[in-house]
């Protein structure tokens, strides 16, 4: 019986050692699964953040394009007004020259009239 007891207790030690290893392996597996779930959750959040960032980038680009179009239109309008102002100034100068000629002609006629009346 001594041999049976010895072998039986060795098996108990092996069984409890195996149970301990099994518990430790289960705990490691549970920890690994929790880490995987955490990593997957982080990955999903990063994908969401990337989608938001891409959407924000596209919106910002659209806003910049719209602003550029408005700026270009404003610049074109400024150029049209500059040309219009230049045309108006040239017309004003032309009117002044014509008025000056007319005044000079009137002065010459007035002087001739005075000279004829004095003679």
What predicted TM-score, i.e. pTM, was given to this entire model?
0.51
Reading the block at residue 110, the tokens are: 């007035």
From first to last of its 119 residues, what are the pLDDT tens digits of the chain?
Answer: 444 445 555 555 566 788 888 999 999 999 999 999 999 999 999 999 999 999 999 999 999 999 999 999 999 999 999 999 999 999 999 999 998 888 888 888 888 888 887 76
Neighbours of 51 (CB within 10 A): 10
Reading the block at residue 50, the tokens are: 């990337």
* Dist CA 62 CA 23 (whole Å): 58
* Dist CA 32 CA 4 (whole Å): 41
- For residue 25, CA distances in Å to 3, 17, 18, 36, 37 come to 32, 12, 10, 16, 18
* Dist CA 88 CA 52 (whole Å): 53
């Amino acid at each position: 019986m001594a041999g049976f007891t010895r072998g039986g207790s060795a098996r108990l030690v092996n069984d409890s050692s195996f149970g301990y290893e099994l518990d430790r392996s289960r705990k490691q597996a549970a920890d690994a699964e929790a880490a995987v779930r955490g990593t997957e959750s982080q990955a999903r959040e990063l994908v969401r953040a990337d989608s938001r960032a891409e959407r924000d980038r596209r919106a910002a680009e659209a806003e910049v394009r719209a602003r550029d179009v408005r700026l270009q239109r404003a610049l074109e309008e400024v150029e049209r007004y500059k040309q219009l102002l230049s045309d108006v100034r040239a017309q004003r100068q032309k009117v002044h020259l014509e008025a000056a000629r007319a005044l000079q002609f009137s002065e010459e006629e007035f002087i001739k009239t005075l000279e004829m009346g004095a003679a």
